[in-house]
Amino acid sequence: MNSSLFFDISAGAYIAAMVIYVIYLVTRNSKVGITATAVTISGFVCQSTALLIRWVNSYYFWTAEHTASGVIESLLRAAPLRNLYESLIFFVWALILAHLLVEFKYKNRSLGAFVTPIAALVLLFIDVTGTSKEIMPLVPALQSNWLLFHVFLAFLGYAAFGVSFGASAAYIVLITESKFEKTYLFWSFIIGVFLIVLIAMGIDFLSLSAAQRVQLIQSHFLKASFRSSSSVVVAVSWISAGGFFLILWWFGYGLKNLLTKLSITPEMLDDITYKSIAVGFPLFTVGGLIMGAIWANSAWGKYWTWDPKETWSLITWFVYALYLHARFVGGWRGKRVAILAMVGFISVIFTYLGVNLVLSGLHSYGG
Amino acid sequence: MEKEKKDIFESIWSLLASVKLAISLLIMLAATSIVGTIVEQNAEPAQNIKLLAKFFGDSFAPTVYNIFAKLGFMDMYDSWWFLSLLALFGINLIVCSLERFPKTWKLVQAVQRPMSESVLKSLPVKKELKIKTTLSVAKDEFFNALTASRYRVLEATEEGSVQLYTQKGRYVRLSVYVVHLSIILIFAGAIIGSVFGFKGYLNIPEGSMYNVAFKSPTEKIPLGFSVKCNWYETLYYEEIDSPKDFRSELVIIEDGKEVMKKIIEVNDPLTYKGITFFQSNYGMMPDTVGKFILDITPKNGPKATVWLRYGDTFEIPGTGIKGTIMDFSPALTRDRGTGSLITYSENMVNPAVLIKFEEPGREPYVGWILKRYPSTGVLNGGHSVIFKDYWGVEYTGLSVSKDPGVWLIYLASILMAVGLYVCFFMSHKKIWVNIAEEGKSVNITVGASTNRNRLTLEQKIEKIVSHASKAIEGRKS
Ligand code: HEM
């Protein structure tokens, strides 16, 4: 059986859920809200099925080549966390899971409108970059249980951080009192950069042939817009980006009224941000840093080499440690900590994608 | 004068103990680390000058490079100022924890006391209710409900009222110190490793033996024993050139005796006397001739393994068939365009041996036998000549390391994991239940506090109260 149909259905469901959550924000019709949750849950069930199918498939793929490998070992080696595509899919899965947990715990649906877009963006990213979806043989360095636990826990942590990003972004909108506040400008800038990069990658994607798409990230990143060889295209890109920022900045403020009407309080968002970081931080520390270090030690004899990937995980860790201390003992409140929470997740994204896009490292992830 | 000195000392101490300093240090460490990931570390100058030219232009780049290099950014994580930042961070952590620990310890040790009803009502979590029952029934049932939730309950009795009070998880307050301690231990482990350990490499040709490792081409580290590589091989996935495994067989020889033998692979090193050998590399030795290892099996006969050189001749026992080694290719493939056979890599990606077979009364014939495809070695008569290896031309690239601090790092990791778990998922909860008689009823006031997760505690209190009041109701009937 092939898992891709189920993956496609779930991706469709998440994107639909995003739209419905936004409609819910606007209409505040509780039936719409229930529909949004139902669609999300169906997508989640589909995706879980797809993950299981893929796991089974790669189990057979592995055992065909490694006949001496035991059942447990084969199951571990086949776990669908083996390359960029699978880890991003798993991230989406964990993010939706975290979101559903928050929704049930806080009995409030509105956060969906902030978290499902992250899921949709990641799914879009996968398709836009043409990330390989094939089940590939595992190169020797990746044949390690530590690596598996490392990716598994780190991505659960990333998902929790993703929720905190959604909550802190909503928080900033909610407490903004004027469009000219620095915090709100920061917010518009960050959200704008996210969307613009994604749109620009979409343009890259459309401008490339199928064969070139595989190389999008490595060789064609933003080559159809900001990094084009034609200066006209570059100028047009910057001007449209500027326009986009203005629109986002102008209309983003409107979200505040919506959120207020939905009886979402800043306290609640702050609480969600803090709690998800409190869950994400231990997961990321143990999964991302400790397991990663143990794996590096067992594969290369050194638990820490300051390679860019490791260093960026450490930077991410510093940012979240900063968040915890600033909020818990440093007496920071409100906007400042919300910005830290946003910066933390930007650092997560850079750790995972930016290092492969911009810097190069030892790690084999990255398409 | 004395006093002034003391003042200076005190203000330095309080600076070192402050969370403000910790916040500044975290920001500085994060910011400088970012620079270290952009500037390529320990790279050829040209590489970074090219990078800097993108930001500063071609004419300024060399100057900027020199300034950066002077500041240590080209080997940043070993630079004096980065190490000082880390050291200051460690000191900050120690001083801060020393400052705060006694207060926390007092909190942990503090004996819980009964509280007046008015104070109870000011606690963050509270609940009041009135039930028709007697003082002793209410007391019993709340006692039971609390005990059922595994609280150890104390009580204080006064005229006409009784107070139950209890706490759980007071040691949770120490978990932050466990986390902080684990960071100090990681620093300690890293220092031990860099002072008493080493990191080197060693390339051993198949069949050779070394008793040193190398830090650099000229700097040797004696091992105290010898290590020999019996063989090295790369295994490939079928049909594609994606490597499946890199393996070498290593033997440790001490005082002329073989004391250990292991096939190592990536993720599965060999450790002897604290020194660990990791599979990290491989390659071909230039201008070396090796030996062909063939497994020869006549139809219905026993297998024999032979080692041969270029031009050597062998015989398939009992058949009169003779083979001669004619040629070797480390990576044989058929060219897609011309269809002719070519060698497409210097490395042993698809090793093949060309053998000329001669049989009395027949035309000699020549054929390639491929190591990765044993079926190419099956001859017409059902005899087989399997190409096992071309031995003696590859070397195994090992990284060799000794890190006596690593156990401390692992211990600290466990402490950190446990500490973080306790810190974020457990809490110190205190509960007071005041029961006061009023005519035929009792007024019950429950107050509770916690250092974390108030919501959870509220739910817990709800549960205990409803548990107890149900039991009280049950007693009436
Ligand atoms: C990156 C390194 C560090 C990590 C991972 C770390 C970890 C933690 C954690 C997890 C907490 C609990 C926070 C919460 O409950 O939300 C905490 C609390 C605290 N940390 Fe750190 N810490 C670090 C560095 C420091 C440093 C350098 C200082 C020095 C001033 C410090 C001072 C404190 C203090 C005062 C508290 C509050 C303790 C209390 O509850 O009484 N931490 N730390």
Instruction: List the one residue out of A194, A196, A173, A193 whose CA is nearest residue A184.
Output: A173
Q: What is the pLDDT of residue A67?
A: 77
Q: Determine the atom of ligand 1 nearest the C-alpha atom of B103.
A: 41
Task: Name the token pair of B61.
Answer: 């780049």
Evaluate if residue A46 carries a pLDDT over 50: yes
| pLDDT level of residue A366 (50, 70, 90 thresholds) | very low
What is the SS3 string spanning B214-264?
Answer: EEECCEEEEEEEEEEEEEEEEEECCCCCCEEEEEEEEEEEECCEEEEEEEE
Distance from C-alpha of B347 to C-alpha of B284, rounded to nearest angstrom: 6
Let me know: does A150 contact A288? Beta carbons within 8 Å. Answer: yes
Q: Which of B21, B105, B179, B422 to mutate to test the pocket of ligand 1 (most atoms within 8 A of CB)?
A: B179
Q: Which of B27, B199, B413 sits opposite A322 (nearest CB)?
A: B27
User: CB distance from B30 to chain A under 8 Å?
Assistant: yes
Distance from C-alpha of B284 to C-alpha of B205, rounded to nearest angstrom: 9
Q: How far is CA B57 from the centre of its chain?
A: 41
In one-letter notation, the amino acid at residue B113 is R
Distance A325 CA to ligand 1 centre (A): 6
Q: Give the 3-state secondary structure of residue B300.
A: coil
* Average pLDDT, rounded, for chain B: 88
Evaluate if residue B307 carries a pLDDT over 70: yes
Any idea what DSSP says for residue B331? Answer: B
| pLDDT level of residue B292 (50, 70, 90 thresholds) | very high
Give me the residues paired with residue B294 across strands: B306, B387
Let me know: does A233 contact A253? Beta carbons within 8 Å. Answer: no
The model's pTM is 0.85
Least reliable range by pLDDT among A218-227, B73-82, B102-111, B223-232 = A218-227
Instruction: State the nearest Cα–Cα gap between B356 and chain A, in angstroms.
Output: 32
Least reliable range by pLDDT among A36-45, A194-203, B106-115, B467-476 = A194-203
What confidence tens digit (pLDDT) does each residue in A110-127 have? Answer: 778 778 888 888 887 777
The full set of domain ranges for chain B reads: 2-107, 111-169+427-476, 291-391
Whether residue A140 and residue B33 make contact (CB cut-off 8 A), yes or no, is: no
Evaluate if residue B87 carries a pLDDT over 90: yes
Distance B176 CA to ligand 1 centre (A): 6
Any idea what DSSP says for residue A353? Answer: I
Q: What is the pLDDT of residue A157?
A: 94
Any idea what DSSP says for residue B318? Answer: T
What confidence tens digit (pLDDT) does each residue in B318-328 have? Answer: 888 899 999 99
The full set of domain ranges for chain A reads: 4-366
B318-329 core/surface letters (b: 16 or more CB in 10 A; e: else): ebebbbbbeebb
What confidence tens digit (pLDDT) does each residue in B336-350 have? Answer: 888 888 888 888 888
3-class SS shares of chain B: helix, strand, coil, % to 5: 40, 35, 25
> Which run of H or of E encompasses A317?
helix A308-328
Distance from C-alpha of B468 to C-alpha of B475, rounded to nearest angstrom: 11
If you average pLDDT over residues B191-195, what whole number do you get? 90
Q: Which of A278, A282, A303 sits opposite B406 (nearest CB)?
A: A303
Q: Check residues B142 and A228 and name the one with the higher pLDDT.
A: B142
Window 55-114 of B: residues touching A by CB (8 A cutoff) are 77
| pLDDT level of residue B477 (50, 70, 90 thresholds) | low
Q: What is the pLDDT of residue A147?
A: 81
The angle that helices A182-207 and A231-252 make with each other, rounded to 10 degrees, is 140
What confidence tens digit (pLDDT) does each residue in A16-37 have? Answer: 998 898 888 778 888 998 999 9
Evaluate if residue B421 carries a pLDDT over 50: yes
What confidence tens digit (pLDDT) does each residue in A126-137 have? Answer: 776 666 667 777
| pLDDT level of residue A287 (50, 70, 90 thresholds) | very high
Let me know: does A139 contact A259? Beta carbons within 8 Å. Answer: no
Give me the residues paired with residue B432 across strands: B165, B447
The response to whether residue A324 sits with its C-beta less than 6 Å from ligand 1 reads: yes
Q: What is the pLDDT of residue B365?
A: 87
Q: Which of B36, B267, B425 sits opposite A143 (nearest CB)?
A: B267
Distance from C-alpha of A62 to C-alpha of B350, rounded to nearest angstrom: 22
Q: Which of B16, B92, B93 to mutate to test the pocket of ligand 1 (most atoms within 8 A of CB)?
A: B93
Evaluate if residue B301 carries a pLDDT over 70: yes
* Average pLDDT, rounded, for chain A: 83
Let me know: does A102 contact A166? Beta carbons within 8 Å. Answer: no
If you average pLDDT over residues A150-166, what whole number do you get? 91
Q: What is the pLDDT of residue A254?
A: 79
Least reliable range by pLDDT among A211-220, A322-331, B271-280, B437-446 = A211-220
Domain B111-169+427-476 indexed as CATH 3.30.310.80: yes
Contacts A308 to B, Cβ<8 Å = 37
**Complex ipTM value:** 0.86
User: CB distance from B245 to chain A under 8 Å?
Assistant: yes
Evaluate if residue B332 carries a pLDDT over 80: yes
Evaluate if residue B309 carries a pLDDT over 60: yes
Least reliable range by pLDDT among A110-119, B14-23, B108-117, B315-324 = A110-119
